[in-house]
Structures are given as C-alpha cells and as structure tokens.
C-alpha cells in the first residue's frame, strides 16, 4: 500500500504546487515534520530571492 495525497476533483485538474510536491516527497521518505518545515521555509526564501533578483 503506497501513501498518496488525496486531492479534490478540482485539484486534479491542476498539478500540485512546488511546496506541496516537496512536502509529499519528504513524507514518503519519512522525514520529520521539523525537517519538512525547514526545507519548505528554505525553498520559499530561495524562490522569493530569485523573484526579487529578477526584477532588478
């Protein structure tokens, strides 16, 4: 039995967002919640800095 995320019918039309994909992969690999939060936070900061730098 493989774990999977349950999405509503509306969500099936759209692919999951990047952070949702990261969370799902980390959970499949049994990472701790704190690690998951930290990785997602780092990823958010990275994406934010890329957007800010691209505006320059």
pLDDT digits (tens, 9 = 90+) for 14-54: 888 999 999 999 999 999 999 999 999 999 999 999 999 98
40 Cβ contact partners less than 8 Å away, ≥ 6 residues apart: 19, 22, 23
pLDDT of residue 10: 61
pLDDT of residue 4: 64
Angle ∠(4,38,22) on CA atoms, nearest 5: 30
Q: What is the DSSP string of 9-44?
A: HHHHHSPPPHHHHHHHHHHHTT--HHHHHHHHHHHH
Residue at token pair 């890329």: 50
């Amino acid at each position: 039995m493989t774990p999977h995320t349950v999405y509503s019918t509306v969500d099936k039309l759209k692919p999951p967002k990047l952070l949702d994909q990261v969370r799902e992969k980390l959970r499949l690999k049994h990472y701790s919640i704190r690690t998951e939060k930290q990785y997602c936070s780092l990823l958010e900061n990275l994406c934010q800095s890329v957007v800010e730098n691209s505006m320059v």
